[in-house]
Amino acid sequence: MKYIITEQQLNDIPEGEPSKGKTVRRLVQDIGLTEVAEIMGGINRVIELGYNGDLMKFSEETTTPIVYLSTDGMNLYLHEALVNELGTDDKKSQFLYNSVEKELGKFKYGSKNLYLYAFTANLLPAKLHNQTYYRVVGTSGDSGFGYGHINKKNTLGKRYRQQIFKQIIDKYDLSKYMTVKTFY
């Protein structure tokens, strides 16, 4: 059975009513998170109304990872709701035409825990399982990962990426969001 609900119908439920959150959660289960977010005006609104703004509760009930490290350890993804909460700055991509990146900051990497090289990390939007995630990308001189212009020889390998990802996880306290694992 497909639900057809409008924003007005949802707004007719009083804000303090416990049934509003239950209604949103039921709709997420019945018609899907993507559709409900589209109807309600974004994922942040779904989390605010349906899960009282609690990202962990949202993650656990919908089995949606908030922070996802790919099984091969080569990519780190952050959910759109978390990125919005982090308040990272937008910047026009210098490598991708008409694209906006989010700045994560400067990090270090190097051999045997001797951090000799600087790395500028950014987030690029990507779709995973019909949801918006942001993939960590970045550059260090002519090296880096995540951008098409970086040739294979200058692409950072797993060890260096792991060093960078660990610093990002520590800086933004993301380990608490890495408990739900559903994409593999």
Counted domains in the chain? 2
Percentage of the chain modeled with pLDDT above 70: 85
Q: What residues make up the domain containing 14?
A: 7-53
State whether residue 170 is helix, strand or coil. Answer: helix
Residue 1: the pLDDT is 41
Q: What confidence score (pLDDT) does residue 29 get?
A: 85
CA-to-CA dists, residue 153 to 3, 10, 21, 145, angstroms? 51, 53, 51, 11
pLDDT at 138 over 70: yes
User: Is residue 172 over pLDDT 60?
Assistant: yes
Residues 78 and 152 in one domain: yes
Report the C-alpha gap between 97 and 99 in whole angstroms.
6
Q: Which residue has the higher pLDDT, 14 or 130?
A: 130
Is the domain of 33 the same as that of 109? no
CB 126 within 8 A of CB 81: no
Q: State yes or no: pLDDT of 112 exceeds 90.
A: no
Taking residues 25-38, report their average pLDDT: 85
For residues 35-62, give the mean pLDDT. 88
Are 150 and 127 contained in the same domain? yes
d(CA 54, CA 57): 5
pLDDT band at 7 (very low <50, low <70, confident <90, very high): low
pLDDT band at 182 (very low <50, low <70, confident <90, very high): low
Q: Tell me: do 114 and 34 sit in the same domain.
A: no
- pLDDT for residue 16 is more than 60: no
Question: Is residue 6 scored above 60 in pLDDT?
Answer: no
Asked if residue 94 is part of any domain, the answer here is yes
Measure the CA dihedral 54/59/60/62, to 10°.
120
- Inside any domain, residue 91: yes
pTM: 0.84
| 107 domain-assigned | yes
> Do 42 and 122 have their domain in common?
no
* Same domain, residue pair 41 and 111: no
